[in-house]
Structure 1
Amino acid sequence: MTTPSSSNASAAKVPFPPMTFGKAALLRAFGSLYTAFFSVLISVVTAILVDGVVGLTVSAWRILKLNHQALIKLSSSVLRTWFSIFMGHLEHFGRLTIVLTGDAFHPNESALVVCNHRSWADTVVIYSLARQVRMHGDVKFLAKRSLLVFPVYGFAGWVLDVVIFIKRQSTSAGRRLNRMFSSLTDPRRRQAPYWLISYLEGTRFTHAKRQNAVEFAKKRDLKVLEEVLQPRTKGFISTVHALRTNAQAVYDITIGYTQSENGDMDPTFKQMYLTPARKDRVIHVHQRRIPLSDLPQDDEELKNWVYRLYEQKDELLKAFRTNGCFAARPMRWNRMTWGYWMQCQAIVYGAFGITIYTVYTLFSFAR
């Protein structure tokens, strides 16, 4: 569980000696080779273990209608171990460092998570926050159906029930959402908490998209927002009504990225993933825990509540641009330990080796 600490606030200000051109080039070359090897290997492992072995296991489990609670625990354990390999890579080699302020999140608590959306790095941040309370194997997403065909990971997300793929403006979207909600609220899920992530802006923030959001706000007499897009309220309202008896809180996450000298968002996901760093790549996060019971019951009041929430996010981010940090109670963020990271790798790659050996033995026997 996260605890108050002021150490993170000072961590981002530690000076580092300048790196020579040759050393920087060598480090980038090493990082590129390592990351290429890591990416190929983890993709092959995912394709065989998750899409193959785990996919067949989960499918058979569902067809035979075996113990539902055990299936959920299996999926959660697989995801927690597998995602830890990625997070360890990003936190140690990419030097992802989170300066965290706000409220503590609770372990073993089901929550609806709303977050501003700027980059692929947003999802990395959310998984790192979930890992602080050992919930990174229980994160769920809503996503566009087109992502289902994303190589390897689209099918893995569907098999392990991480992602529900929906078509926007589809007549079947409501039915698919209802099926997802019934899965999350199934009484057999007791003591199987989850985080359901919803990017209410519907897309990543860009200045071009902001112009569309400005026009939308003016047409509906809403406050014009500068740092976030206008939230989409219909899906949020349906989700809240469906989860009132099952989830305990709304986790309101606001992510603040600094800007590089050329005005780009810093750090980017590409930087963290592809190049090792000598110093921390800092991302600021402000988080709030809002009891779900505190949200309005009426749809119109709930819609206005969401608009006010994003107006508050906008003000937070404008202050962040000025001050370089969020002015709130500091919290402790813990980097993944080397020991735990190596343990997860031993489990995943050990299972991969056993699978390859078993398939090879069966193939040899069949011949």
Structure 2
Amino acid sequence: VVQNLIFPLLYVLLLILMQPVRLVSSETFWWVEGMIYDSYLAIVSSWSDQAGHTILESGDDISKITDDESLLLLNHQSPSDIGTIMRCLHGKSFIFSRTIWVMDWLFQFLNFGWVSKCHGDFFLLQPTDSNATQQTRLSDCVKNNFWSRNRKWVIVFPEGGFLSKRRSGSQRFARKNDLPILEHVALPRSGAVQCILDTLGVDGKYPGKNGNSHPPTEDFSNSHLIKWIVDVTIGYNRPISILEHIMGHNGPATITVHYRIFPANEVFKSKGKGDSETNQLTNWLYHLYYEKEKLLSYFYANGCFPSKSGGNAPTRTTPLLYTQLFLIHVFGAVGVFFTYCLFYLIFRFLF
């Protein structure tokens, strides 16, 4: 509780005090902001360990692509999915500082939401705004923040909400359109993913549509375009709430996260006559989620995900960086003392 109150306030206060640096060098400002943001998310990612949970990883090694522009697609079962993926990214080349999250609108009202909003993450309000309005806002957010702030990864939940709320609607849509009925995931919505690819473009295949400020070469090969799409599948040995994820009051849980890395240009590899980029992407996402359904069916039957070669995929863990966490807490203590002194001096000056 103390961490969740102090560190967001310190983050916001430091950004306010650093505004003169932003006027002199925007690049330096956002680099420092990224380090502070990375420190806060390192604290958040440690909560699952403090609660006694075990988070395992399997499949492809995403640490090999931390310096490449990538789009991560996650299934969404509960708010604890965010804490889970934060724990998985902990210690991977300071990738926290180079991410843009696309999250539900309600998250911006939490302490973490204050930090995310300053960092440049996007909050999606689905029920009220039109799709066109949402995509315009998302495109502007990505366009304004991705290149200028040296971001590398965009993290999206294509189902558009928690599985418990989306499953029935997804199944009705599937029956109406003669599609497979899914139990463990909902059919993905392609709007946000399409908007991101339109804005950033895909390396080697697709230049994008919405004003890419880093024009690609003739063959669309450009270091600033999306290179990889990472399918992230989260499986729980039992359902846990966000409170249980942090507190662990019902005992430890085991969470397994499975990765599959695809070259982003695979999405637009084959184009039939009359196919648009949107249809290609929708079909590719549907196929991805049919496979994700099979992965989760295997997981719930066997307690782990399958490997590409058959059998159970080996799992690995990412150790907590205790030295880094200790230094972050020391920095937090110094920050609290500095803040106290600052407000004390202001109070004495005014009164």
Q: TM-score range by the shorter chain?
A: 0.7 to 0.9
Partner of 1:232: 189
Partner of 2:320: 336
Q: Aligned to 1:294, which of 258, 261, 266?
A: 266
Distance 1:355 1:86 in 2: 22
Contact 1:142–1:166 (8 Å) recurs in 2? yes
Deviates further, 219-228 or 137-146:
137-146
Deviations 1:128-155 (A, max 9, x none): 222241312333222344443x154433
Distance 1:107 1:146 in 2: 28
TM-score, normalised to structure 2, is 0.80
Distance 1:356 1:229 in 2: 49
Partner of 1:355: 339
Deviations 1:7-55 (A, max 9, x none): xxxxxxxxxxxxxxxxxxxxxxxxxxxxxxxx1x22431453223x134
Secondary structure (helix, strand or coil) at the match of 1:143 reads: strand
Amino acid at match of 1:357: C
Secondary structure (helix, strand or coil) at the match of 1:99 reads: strand
Partner of 1:173: 134
Matches within 5 A, 1:94-243: 94-105=51-62, 106-133=65-92, 134-148=94-108, 150-161=109-120, 163-168=121-126, 169-170=129-130, 171-186=132-147, 188-189=148-149, 192-206=150-164, 209-243=166-200
Partner of 1:56: 16
Secondary structure (helix, strand or coil) at the match of 1:225 reads: coil
Distance 1:352 1:167 in 2: 34
Contact 1:115–1:199 (8 Å) recurs in 2? yes
Distance 1:221 1:57 in 2: 57
Distance 1:44 1:293 in 2: 43
Contact 2:74–2:233 (8 Å) recurs in 1? yes
Distance 1:44 1:102, change over 3 A: closer
How many residue pairs get aligned? The number is: 311
Deviates further, 102-111 or 290-299:
290-299
Contact 2:139–2:195 (8 Å) recurs in 1? no
Secondary structure (helix, strand or coil) at the match of 1:137 reads: helix
Distance 1:57 1:83, change over 3 A: same
Structure 1: segments with no counterpart, 5+ residues: 1-38, 260-264
Q: Percent identity?
A: 22
Partner of 2:215: none
Contact 1:101–1:326 (8 Å) recurs in 2? yes
Amino acid at match of 1:159: C
Aligned-CA RMSD value: 2.4
Contact 1:158–1:164 (8 Å) recurs in 2? yes
Contact 2:135–2:195 (8 Å) recurs in 1? no
Secondary structure (helix, strand or coil) at the match of 2:56 reads: strand
Distance 1:332 1:325, change over 3 A: closer
| 1:112 Cα offset (Å) | 0.9
Structure 2: segments with no counterpart, 5+ residues: 203-223, 270-276, 308-312
Partner of 1:281: 253
Amino acid at match of 1:180: C
Distance 1:322 1:147, change over 3 A: closer
Secondary structure (helix, strand or coil) at the match of 2:160 reads: coil
| 1:299 Cα offset (Å) | 2.2
Q: Aligned to 2:31, which of 73, 82, 85?
A: 73
Deviations 1:231-253 (A, max 9, x none): 10122122123222523211110
